[in-house]
């Protein structure tokens, strides 16, 4: 694939995304879609956690290498369940992962 073609398509895509962000104030979503949009952040974090756990569980080190990720996921779930705010998953999970990875 031609590098200039990739650069051009990336630039057009970036410009299109910026235009879409300016149009979101004028558009209203149906209530059902709006309610499901609130679950995008927790679903993304769950997908990231599952993707990082899969190679660790399959590898020879097994659960000892997966322990920091499991602890971080548990902290993220507990924080989000307790507050109901999706951003708490990041605020609780990432520091827990860093500390657990440093200690293990």
pLDDT per residue over 36-91, tens digit each?
Answer: 877 777 777 778 777 777 776 666 566 677 788 888 888 988 988 888 887 888 88
Tokens of 81: 């369940």
Alpha-carbon torsion (25, 39, 65, 61), positive or negative? negative
Q: Report whether 89 contacts 80 (CB < 8 A).
A: yes
**How many of the other CB atoms lie within 10 Å of CB of 8?**
11
How much is the pLDDT for 28?
77
Nearest in space to 98 (alpha carbons), one of 76, 72, 75, 77: 72
pLDDT confidence of 96, banded at 50, 70, 90? very high
């Amino acid at each position: 694939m031609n590098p200039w073609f990739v650069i051009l398509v990336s630039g057009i895509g970036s410009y299109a995304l910026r235009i879409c962000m300016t149009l979101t104030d004028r558009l209203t979503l149906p209530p059902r879609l709006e309610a499901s949009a609130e679950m995008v952040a927790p679903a993304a974090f769950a997908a990231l956690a599952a993707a990082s756990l899969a190679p660790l569980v399959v590898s020879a080190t097994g659960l000892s290498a997966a322990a920091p990720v499991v602890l971080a996921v548990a902290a993220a779930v507990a924080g989000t369940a307790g507050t109901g705010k999706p951003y708490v998953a990041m605020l609780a999970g990432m520091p827990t992962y860093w500390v657990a990875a440093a200690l293990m």
